[in-house]
Chain A
Amino acid sequence: MFGIDKLISVKNVSFSAYSEEKGEKQRFILKNINLEIAKGEFVAILGKNGSGKSTLVKHFNGILLPSEGKVLVNGIDTKDEDKLCEIRQKVGMVFQNPDNQIISAIVEEDVAFGPENLGLDREEIIRRVESALKAVGMYDLRKHSTDMLSGGQKQRVAIAGVFAMLPSCIVLDEPTSMLDPQGRKEVINTLVKLNKESGTTIVLITHNTDELVYADRIIAMEAGSIFKDTSLKEIILNIEYSKALGLNSSQCLDLIYKLKGKGIDIPITIDENECINNLAKMIEEDKMCR
């Protein structure tokens, strides 16, 4: 039915917030969505506000249950209440505002919250907290107060808190939208590291073009359905797409489109270094021609 490498499969899922029994008019937030996410993927989900992307990811660990269709995590239906804990362990979730998801006033205790809930032995908790904090690079601050951290650090603590439960997948709902550029970089680098080193599947909701560079796959949503499920190249090659999806354009992309407007043919990329290299090469060639 499904391969072992399929971590999350979403099958014909529709979701409406109002129940028909109450006589309210049904309004579907998600309409007939089919989606499969494999182990180890780095998936970015794009879409304007209200396109249903947050609603979709909340189905991945059973926070919301589909009105129609079903969601399978590792082959387990999210409607199976007995296995909900297992599902939430497999698929961790990080939200937008770090302040609203940190429970304890001390870093290491917050990271321990998940393992404590699982009823693990103390030795195991200590091991997991240590490795999670090391993975996000916050081990040195483990005894610190969570109030004193920067936004990026707080968000990394939140990621460690999820990572300490040894998830196969971490879903992040706009984790960087409240952060400064420095914090943004910290968080994204952490995610890339977790993806590469631990093979953790990352599902990232974002508005930022810069953050898409690392994604293997991009799912664009519009009005409750999947509009495009493609690679980064296709999205950025199409300026109309980016506009339709409400993407914050990147400086790099802006420059490329401006140059293109002036009749200069330059390959499209959103990797800054690649763009700089391309430009350097072109300038070099230009000199040679003269």
Chain B
Amino acid sequence: MDIVLGQYLPGNSVLHRLDPRIKFISLFALMIVVFSAWSYLALLIITFFTAVLVLMSRIRVKIYMKNTGIILGMTMISALLNLFYGSGKPVFSWGFISITEMGIQNSIVVMTRIFNMLILSTCFMFTTSPNDMTYGLQSLLKPLKRWGVNVDDLIIMITIALRFIPISLTEANKIFNSQKSRGADINKRGIVNKIALFIPIVLPLFASVFRRAYELSMAMECRCYGFKEERTHLKRLETTAKDIFALASILLLMIGVIFCNKINPTHLF
């Protein structure tokens, strides 16, 4: 069974090799930039930036489209609806439908923003492995320790969850097949039957997961987990020139967007 965790697509592009912390921060900064842009020029620059990132990820545009298609379609519809809500001088009116200048502006801005946000976060998901995300989080959440949040435990929880998701899925598959081979009627119709069917699959799965958890906790105890206050780490994240470059370019983008918002406020017509 081939399970793709998250949406990570292994690769060796520059984006894949960026420091995950920098990627987290960048994504966050980009979100702010995207939602603070309202001038057409700024939106254009952002879209261009997104396009460059997509190219840099060395993942085919088709795959991006496949992954974001449905959500993108839905946002397009909602953006289109924006067309009809807007005050001001109507540009076009037919019966009770009237499209105003502001409606057009709104729908273009909203559409571009959502489009960029979606593609950017997909790009992040595609190029960051679950492990890298964990390391990134671990490092970024470290300051929370001061307020009594046990970041190490949190990270171990995520690590174990990541490890056990594929195992549990395989297990579920096994249980499904063995129940089927014992004559469980899997193809029953109707929602009640479907829910009833859930029981012979989910109960054994839970039993097995609890057993696993028990054994795992014992194995962890055997390896001295939880005895020392401070854990050390094998993995060390390294910020290199390309990470600095990434941050610098995002900063530049930010300044650019602010500037564009100033000189080119949305006056389409």
A residues within 8 Å of B by Cβ? 61, 63, 84-85, 88-89, 92-93, 95, 97, 99-106, 108-109, 112-122, 125-126, 129, 146-147, 158, 161-162, 165
Nearest CB of B to A111, in Å: 9
B159 to A122, Cβ gap below 8 A? no
Alpha-carbon separation in the docked complex, A84 to B223 (Å): 11
- Asked whether B225 is an interface residue with its Cβ less than 8 Å from the other chain, the reply is yes
Q: A residues within 8 A CB of B222?
A: 61, 63, 88, 92-93, 162
Verify if B70 is at the interface (C-beta below 8 Å from A): no
Q: Are A109 and B228 in contact (CB under 8 A)?
A: no
> Which single residue of chain B is at the shortest CB-CB distance from A98?
B219
Give the complex CA separation of A93 and B232 in angstroms: 22
Contact of A109 among B224, B226, B234 (CB under 8 A): B234
Segment at the interface with A among B41-49, B57-65, B162-170, B251-259: B162-170
Query: B219 contacts A119, CB within 8 Å?
Result: no
CA A122 to CA B194, docked complex, whole Å:
52
By size class, the interface of chain B is: 20 to 34
Among the listed B166, B218, B225, B230, which residue makes an inter-chain contact with A147, where contact means beta carbons less than 8 Å apart?
B166
Decide: B235 and A85 in contact? CB cutoff 8 A: no
Residues of A within 8 A of B224 (CB): 85, 88-89, 114, 117-118, 165
B215 within 8 A of A: yes
Q: B228–A100 contact, CB under 8 A?
A: no
Contacts of A129 in B (CB 8 A): 234
* Contacts known (A85-B227, A95-B215, A162-B223); A102 close to B232, Cβ less than 8 A: no
Contact B225 A117, beta carbon cutoff 8 Å = yes
Q: Which chain B residues in 121-139 approach chain A with CB under 8 Å?
A: 130-131
B163 touches A114 (CB 8 A): no
Q: Cα distance A120–B235 when bound, in Å?
A: 13
Contacts of B229 in A (CB 8 A): 119
Chain A residues within an 8 Å CB radius of B234: 108-109, 112, 115-116, 122, 125-126, 129
Chain B's nearest CB lies how many Å from the CB of A228? 28
Residues in chain B near residue A119, CB distance under 8 A = 228-232
CB–CB A100/B131 < 8 A: no
Q: How far is the CA of A88 from the CA of B227 in the complex (A)?
A: 10
- CB contact list, B97-151 vs A, under 8 A: 130-131
Contact B221 A100 (CB under 8 A): no
Interchain CA distance A162-B212 in the complex, whole Å: 19
12 contacting pairs across A/B (C-beta < 8 A)? A84-B227, A101-B219, A108-B234, A116-B231, A117-B224, A117-B225, A119-B229, A122-B234, A122-B236, A125-B232, A125-B233, A147-B166
**What B residues does A85 contact at CB under 8 A?**
224, 227-228
A96 nearest in chain B by CB position: B215
Q: Could you say which residues of chain B place their CB within 8 Å of the CB of A122? A: 232-234, 236
Q: Give Cα distance in the complex from A129 to B234, angstroms.
A: 9
User: Complex formed: what's the CA distance from A82 to B130 in Å?
Assistant: 36
Q: Cβ of A165: which chain B residues have Cβ within 8 Å of it?
A: 223-224
Judged by a CB distance under 8 angstroms, whether B216 is at the interface is yes
B228's nearest neighbour on chain A, judged by CB, is A119
* B161 → A minimal CB distance (Å): 10
The contact of B167 among A99, A117, A126, by CB within 8 Å, is A99
| Contact pick for B163, options A61, A92, A104, A121, CB 8 Å | A104
Given contacts A109-B235, A112-B234, A116-B232, A103 and B160 within 8 Å (CB-CB): yes
Contact flag A97-B215 (CB < 8 Å), given A88-B222, A104-B159, A165-B223: yes
A84–B224 Cα distance when bound, in Å, is: 8
User: Nearest CB to that of B227 among chain A residues?
Assistant: A85
Q: How far is the CA of A208 from the CA of B141 in the complex (A)?
A: 49
Closest 7 interchain pairs by CB?
A: A101-B219, A112-B234, A85-B227, A100-B215, A114-B223, A119-B228, A93-B222
The answer to whether A121 touches B232 (Cβ under 8 A) is: yes
Whole-angstrom distance between the Cβ of A134 and the nearest chain B Cβ: 16
**A102 and B211 alpha carbons, distance in the complex (Å):** 15
> Which residues of chain A are within 8 angstroms of B236 by Cβ–Cβ distance?
122
Contacts of B160 in A (CB 8 A): 103
Q: Nearest CB to that of B215 among chain A residues?
A: A100
B220→A103 contact, CB < 8 A: yes
Query: Considering the chains assembled together, what is the distance between the CA atoms of A230 and B124 in angstroms?
Result: 62
- Distance to closest chain B CB from A91 (angstroms): 9
Interface residues of B in 232-246 (CB under 8 A from A): 232-236
What distance in Å separates the Cβ of A285 from its nearest Cβ neighbour in chain B? 53
Pairwise interchain contact B131-A106, C-beta atoms closer than 8 A? yes
Contact check, A100 vs B223: say whether CB atoms are below 8 A apart.
no
Complex contact A117–B228 (CB within 8 A): yes
A112: nearest chain-B partner, CB-CB? B234
Q: Which of B222, B225, B226, B228 has the most chain A CB atoms closer than 10 A to its own CB?
A: B222
Q: Which B residues touch A117, using CB under 8 A? A: 223-228, 231
By beta carbon, the residue of chain B nearest A147 is: B166
**Whose C-beta in chain A lies nearest to the C-beta of B167?**
A99
Give 1 or 0 for each of B29-69: 1 = CB within 8 Å of chain A CB. 00000000000000000000000000000000000000000
